[in-house]
Amino acid sequence: MTMTGKLRAAIVGSTGYGGVELIRLLQSHPDIEITSVISSSSAGAPIEEGFPHLTGIVQRNLDGVDAAEIANRADVVFTATPSGVSAKLVPQLLEAGLKVVDLSGDFRLKDGAEYEQWYKHPAPPEAYLQQAVYGLCEVYGERAAGVDFISNPGCYPTATLLGLVPALEAGWIKPDSIIIDAKSGVSGAGRGTSLMVHFAEINENFKAYKINKHQHIPEIEQVLTDIAGEKVTVTFTTHLVPMTRGIMSTMYAGLTGEHSEQELVELYRKYYAGRPYVRVREPGVVPATKEVSGSNYCDIGFATDARTGRVTIVSVIDNIVKGAAGQAIQNLNLMMGWEETRGLGYTPVYP
């Protein structure tokens, strides 16, 4: 705690897009103060050197990664690190008595073998995999209260699962019919440089990648299986959109009966009652990504088709907010027993 009673927060991976978004959002959180921004690659340098937009806002040098030092400076740590790094670091942070919200993906799968198959790294120790609470707030939010360790959901799973869970739980869609066509802005690929994110290769271009091979597939299936009570397998395609922020997940499923758009809206509004960050649109209206940009909202809409007996579900988020930093703060709020919306009252930036 700071002398003014604020929770002290450290951010590991402060020079990635997820980390720097945590910094932006936490500026307006009334109960949290950032006391350490950490980067293994740039330790020692002022953070505004690599992120001039923070000039005069965050005047702080980047710290190195050292669990003991972090424990001296902070009460809670956000680990926005590449997959594989958190697997080793998080256990040390937890042992040092810190609360942790991990954004890396390393603790999302309960089955270590499945992790190793999809992530191609050694899995973290079993005990930590089991300890981690999967922080999909609007579905598993009640599990977060009082815990020390949250594994923050992936960006694609967040948009996708919030779009599927109510209908699947209600038994309105056929579990073996789910096809997910997802599209993401380029910030989802991180700040690392590669030909794939070169402006001239992305701009005025649209491409699919990792078809049926994305590491978010087992994460999505783990939750859907939990909800359905039977093994669910999905077809999942990811595409890169020439934009910076935003994910749309367009989902297709066979309906088990005749359910109108109006009924779906009511079902979802009931499911998400009291959860302000999911906005279910009017029947026949589907959301666009810009309508949630810069904010923690997930917006959902439906189109049913009597001709084919299928429903099309459209779910959008800002991949860096609701798909990463925003949901991480929402999870911390739930861990601390604070109101879910604390520090997250950002209106979408439009246009």
Using the 8-state DSSP alphabet, how is residue 329 labeled? H
Cβ 279 to a second copy, closest distance in Å? 5
Q: Which is nearer to a second copy, 79 or 289 (CB)?
A: 289
87 versus 255: smaller Cβ distance to a second copy:
255
Q: Residue 102: what are its φ and ψ, rounded to 5°?
A: -100, 125
Among the options 155, 164, 167, 332, which is catalytic?
A: 155
Our answer to whether residue 298 is catalytic in this structure is no
Please report how close the Cβ of residue 217 comes to a second copy at its closest, in angstroms: 9
In angstroms, what is the minimal distance from the CB of 35 to a second copy?
Answer: 17
Q: Name which of 223, 316, 300 is nearest 264 in CA terms.
A: 300
Dihedral (C-alpha) 262, 266, 271, 274: value to the nearest 10 degrees? 130
CA distances for 100 relative to 43, 133, 167, angstroms = 21, 11, 32
CB 197, min distance to a second copy, A: 5
Count of residues making up the chain = 351
Q: Which two tokens stand for residue 74?
A: 């902070």
Tokens of 119: 């992530």
At closest approach, how far in Å is the CB of 320 from a second copy? Answer: 8
Nearer to a second copy, 145 or 349 (CB): 349
Contact 234, 221 (CB under 8 A): yes
SS (H, E, C) 25-69: HHCCCCCEEEEEEECCCCCCCEHHHHCHHHCCCCCCECECCCHHH
Q: For tokens 């699919």, what's the residue?
A: 208
Q: Which residues are catalytic?
A: 155
